[in-house]
Amino acid sequence: MGKTASRKAFGEALSELGDKYKNVVCLDADLSKSTMSILFKNKFPDRFFEMGIQEANMIGAATGMSFSGKIPFICSFAAFLTGRFDQIRISIAYANANVKLIGTHCGVGIGEDGYSQMGLEDLSIMRTLPNMVVLQPADAKETKEMVEWSINHVGPVYLRLTRQGLKDMNMDKFERPGIFPEVKKGQKVAFMACGGVLEYALEAAHNIAKEGKIDPAVFNANCLNPIDNAFMSMLANNFDEFIVFEDHTINGGTGGMIAEWMSENANRPKRVRRYGIRNIFGESGTPEDLYKFHGFTAPDIEKFAKKYLL
């Protein structure tokens, strides 16, 4: 079975849902062929707005549309969109505007375009904002479900999407944020992975389990905000060790969120190890070579986990 990029699944979902939700509009910053908002543009040209290379202006326009009863989806590369943090902070989050932010081309998985195009800090930035729901789907099906959930949620949502294809993870339907889908059952140790790294963390967990000493559970850490305290408490009560894998800086990302919660709220503080981009800039290369360089392949993840767990 082939893999589908979550950006493509987003474009398909929005164009499919356009008939059902007549007040949905889409704005893009001269990247519609890359963000795949072009699929909505082709079907609903009167509800699509090409803003040019002006993300800040796009944010302001979308905010105005939201207060006029529309549900705007604003699209750009994650690096470019979150680079307009001041406008997002005041116009969207502070105003609690009903705007959906689509940040594509996240992580080193985008490949040859290099660091200037890579969203490596976007989760750290967006999770600091009150009112902002922060989601990262792990496959095409979950992406489409999150798009429709976002339409029905009143308030701002940030959706982090990949350029590279994602394997179908066969998860239950996405119902609400804060509950991480369990993609592999296990004991004592939980791998928390997201986006493009999830399939490799799952493969590594299966390989480790075959050896019979440790049987890691694997969860799809698909949401950074809001945090579901009851669900996090369940994790803390059922597992002793957590390792978080993400194609994002380890500073303030998914690993940071889980480490913060576990250190402050668990009945007994739990060890959380963060595994991601370690305080360096990205570089250019094929997606495969960059995943090898940064240690996101299954053998690399397996080696790291065994170092601490065996």
- Give me the active site residues, please: 55
Q: The tokens 């904002």 sit on which residue?
A: 129
Cα 32 to Cα 8: distance, rounded to the nearest angstrom? 11
Cα 300 to Cα 65: distance, rounded to the nearest angstrom? 46
Cα 235 to Cα 224: distance, rounded to the nearest angstrom? 15
Pair 276, 250: CB distance under 8 Å: yes
CB neighbours of 201 closer than 8 A, spacing ≥ 6? 191, 193, 218, 245, 298, 301
Run of H or E including 308: helix 298-309
Q: The tokens 């590594």 sit on which residue?
A: 204
Cα 260 to Cα 246: distance, rounded to the nearest angstrom? 16
**Nearest residue to 245 via CA among 199, 183, 308, 178:** 199
Pair 148, 17: CB distance under 8 Å: yes
Cα 76 to Cα 161: distance, rounded to the nearest angstrom? 10
Instruction: Please report the sign of the dihedral spanned by the C-alpha atoms of residue 56, residue 66, residue 37, residue 129.
Output: positive
Pair 204, 298: CB distance under 8 Å: yes
Cα 216 to chain center, whole Å? 22
